[in-house]
Amino acid sequence: MALHEALLALQTGCSGLLTLKQDDPYFKKRVQSLPYVHPGELEQLDRLTQLGKHYKMLEDFVQNNLVSNESGLYLLSFSFELRTILQEYLSCLSKLEYECLQDTSLTLSHIVTSLDDYLTLLPALVRLIDSLHSTQFRGCQILDLIYRCTFDGNICLSLKMKQLLKACHKILFKQITTLIINGTLYDAYNEFFIGINTKPNIEAMGTTKTLSSTLTSAVNSTATSANISRSQSPETTIDSKQQTDIFQIVQPSRVTPSVYSQYQLIPNMLPSYIPLQLAEKIIFIGESWLLLKNNDQNSDDLLTTIETYFKSDTIDYNQQNKFVLEQFKKLASEDFNLFELERIVEESRLQLSLILRYLFVEKFHLCKELDQIKTYYLIGRGELYTLFINRANTTLLNLKKVNRSTENDINELFKQCINDLQLDTVLSPENFQLKFTFKDDATTQQDASLNRRLLFSKELPQDTVPFDFWSCGWSNLMIKYNIKYPLKAFFSENSKQRYNDIFQLLLVLRYVQIELNSIWLLMKTNHNIGHISQLRNLMSFFINNLQYYIQIDVLEHKYQQLIKSIQSSKDFQHIKHLHELFLNDIQTDCFMLMPATYKSIKQILTLCMSFCLFIKHFEQEKEKMTNIMVETTIEQLGKDFNSETRLLFGMLGAVQKRNALPQLAQFLARLDFNRYLTDNNGSFGQF
């Protein structure tokens, strides 16, 4: 009778041997007076009492999750599998009850021995659900807790935890599969480590129309919530076959991104055992499907292009998708295998990359588009910008504010230059438009205080206003690139901004070079004094070498490398990575990522412009200016120029010693002709 009462207590939580404590419904207290129970079995009875408490807690946890509409798919799957484990426990109790009825000589020791695995398993499961309650983890966060529990020396406990983890992995693999096969995200409860980015990342690949400027760090955002429909009552006992059917029926509402949305990584939802690189590959595949599906124009042409690719390719992509689906189903039925998951994802990524590579390089002529970008942003046509600078010189030099009418005039002038040089058949001016990016007054004044160089000495008239070159139109001119589909997925807002940063440096450098050349012609005509000609020659020597280094040693060399790499690569993601490296290398080799060095170059350009404007002013007002005033100003400009070149030469020499860059070594060798700068401590001489 005692054995039967103990078994009943283990299953239902109440019997004649146990009393319920009033303030704790889970606490089962043994009756103090039990004359028919041997004292040696009292401790065993306490262990069974505790086991009944744990079972009741787990059963209530399962029932609450199955009733709740906010449990989420991962917690629901966990609860289904936990119920299966509890059913095995109840089956074990039923078997013990049958044995006790057949053999009345059995003792409590037999029950304890038979339930030895559950005496370890159920307390561990209680600790697990307590952790879920305390941490408020959901979705993929649950996977980490369960995964850590699988590393246990107890074989039974480890197997049951792997069983729970496998059930949750079914949801994970289903979400990954739908994203890989057709780019659709199933995540009604915001549980997946990939979500919809309503403010798309500038580094993302998707088909964004308006992108925000932000760092590449992932932003934690959530998708739209929706209720899940359950076709099975939680009160009904569910066997394994019924549970499998439920997972086939219960599907959350599909989260379909808008045309201009992208996927993003949610870092705090990513399980620790899934590498970040693998998650990025999954995101790339999903965004690739967005690119192929959610185009905003030329839909029929795109579909025809993809069909043409499939016909020319030996792989049946529909069959390939079925094969991937079968692989994920097999993976979900086994213990978690990270290497197999990485292999499946990588094969899918490579196959999709081949399509994108064909789409961008062969169909939409990516290399030709890069050639257009080189012409506009990287000043690939020097004669075009030389003509434009000569025609818009004074207009942009005196420009401090801009309106739409001014921008239209400048763009018409630029198009006229293209037509005059008969480049309208080669270039695509409709995709490129000149814009101005003037800063606000506070920022302008702050920059002016750092970069301003007085054009005239202190002895000049007081009404002369110092000129700040970096606040005029030439230093604030940029190009707006109107990207056509699908190239907008290749050229992100970040890359366009970097192109504009490079363009502004190249344009100012070309403008200063042209101004110094015009000063040479002016001085040759008027036979001016020698020290002015000496300073102009030194400035021109530096500017010419700097421009040759940037245009030939850096830009042309890196660009040819990029084109060869694109033509030889079969992986679109690798091509996109090569383009980002190309921009990074250009900015690095042009010293734009070294603040002190870049500031020194800008100061030298400012000094050169100050010199040019002073000489022009001197030619116009030579009768009002004495030789002492001219010599004082030239001497000051020469000292400042020497000081900046000495500083720059020292910094570049230190960079070269540390990195041993071949292009930089050639540039320094040209500047240090016959070791002139080395012998003079980086200076061009005295003025």
Range with the poorest average pLDDT among 506-515, 523-532, 672-681: 523-532
The pLDDT value recorded for residue 398 is 82
CA gap 283, 223 in Å, rounded: 15
- Name, in order, each residue with C-beta under 8 angstroms of 490's C-beta and a sequence gap of 6 or more: 360, 366, 576, 579
- Name, in order, each residue with C-beta under 8 angstroms of 48's C-beta and a sequence gap of 6 or more: 6, 9, 10, 108, 111, 112, 115
> Cα–Cα–Cα angle for 653, 654, 659, nearest 5°?
100
- pLDDT category of residue 112 using cuts at 50, 70 and 90: confident
CA gap 15, 9 in Å, rounded: 5
The pLDDT value recorded for residue 94 is 87
pLDDT tens for 301-328 read 555 555 555 555 544 557 777 888 889 9
Range with the poorest average pLDDT among 196-210, 327-341, 460-474: 196-210
pLDDT tens for 623-672 read 777 777 878 888 888 899 989 999 999 999 898 888 878 888 889 888 88
pLDDT tens for 115-147 read 889 989 999 999 999 999 999 999 999 999 999
Backbone angles phi, psi at 434, to 5 degrees: -80, 135
The pLDDT value recorded for residue 442 is 42
Q: Where are the domains of the chain?
A: 1-22+29-136, 258-363, 366-445+466-672
The pLDDT of residue 439 is above 70: no
**β-sheet bridge partners, residue 477:** 436
The pLDDT of residue 392 is above 70: yes
The pLDDT of residue 427 is above 80: yes
The pLDDT value recorded for residue 363 is 85
Class of domain 366-445+466-672: mainly alpha
The pLDDT of residue 272 is above 90: yes
The pLDDT value recorded for residue 394 is 84
What is the DSSP code (8-state) at residue 185? B
The pLDDT of residue 75 is above 80: yes
Q: Average pLDDT of the chain?
A: 78
Q: Two tokens at 157?
A: 């406990």
The pLDDT of residue 599 is above 90: yes
- In which element (H, E) is residue 433 found? strand 432-436
The pLDDT value recorded for residue 258 is 40
The pLDDT of residue 19 is above 80: no
pLDDT tens for 571-584 read 898 999 999 999 99
The pLDDT value recorded for residue 483 is 83
Residue 534, judged by CB atoms within 10 A of its CB (0-12, 13-18, 19+), counts as middle
**β-sheet bridge partners, residue 479:** 434
The pLDDT of residue 266 is above 90: yes
- pLDDT category of residue 368 using cuts at 50, 70 and 90: very high
Q: Two tokens at 565?
A: 């790499």
The pLDDT value recorded for residue 456 is 40
* 3-state SS assignment for residue 196: strand
Taking the CA atoms of the chain, what radius of gyration do you get in angstroms?
Answer: 37
Residue 648 or residue 489, greater confidence: 648
The model's pTM? 0.74
Sign of dihedral through CA atoms 113, 115, 118, 122? Answer: negative
The pLDDT of residue 465 is above 80: no
**β-sheet bridge partners, residue 20:** 28
pLDDT above 90 as % of the chain: 36
Range with the poorest average pLDDT among 53-67, 283-297, 604-618, 633-647: 283-297
Range with the poorest average pLDDT among 190-199, 247-256, 578-587: 247-256
CA gap 258, 37 in Å, rounded: 70
The pLDDT value recorded for residue 9 is 65
Q: Two tokens at 48?
A: 């069974």
Give the CA dihedral 253, 258, 261, 267, nearest 10 degrees: -10
